[in-house]
Homo-oligomer: A and B are copies of this chain.
Amino acid sequence: MELDFQKTGGVVPAIIQDRRTGEVLMLGFMNAEALAQTQRNGEVVFFSRSRNKLWKKGETSGHVLKVLEMRVDCDADTLLVQVDPVGPGVCHEGYGSCFFRQLDPEGRVRIIAERTFAPEKVYAKEKSQ
């Protein structure tokens, strides 16, 4: 099938969900080549919009995301990738999930998770997005 890469400037959002726990870990973007590499190798590759290049998740940290199942939505413009995450967490700030902050109705944020690793020991250059 053809995905609709045009709606978001050549990429589609890819939601990353831990298949075992159901936790949503992060959101990245894939262009056609990132999707092709992800499908071919079974590990998640994103396209970094800020750096304008492919970015294999875990290339620095070793925290790769092993693909267990991919889903596509009704409009074919968003992916849901169910993964087995390797390592203690996906977030460059040291958390299991990038969604470690709660946003209340007044716009205040509160950290609601514990760090699962020390990011300064893991990351040289990789950033989560």
| Residues of A participating in the B interface, judged by any CB pair closer than 8 Å | 1, 7-8, 13, 15, 17, 21-24, 26-27, 39-40, 42, 49-50, 69-75, 77-80, 91-93, 95, 98-109, 112, 128-129
Contact = CB atoms under 8 A, between A and B. Distances in A.
Most interface-central of A73, A99, A107 (chain B CB within 10 A): A73
A95 B75 CA distance: 13
Nearest to A101: B72
Contact of A80 (B13, B24, B106): B24
A92 B73 contact: no
Nearest to A77: B129
A100 to B, nearest CB: 7
B73 A108 contact: no
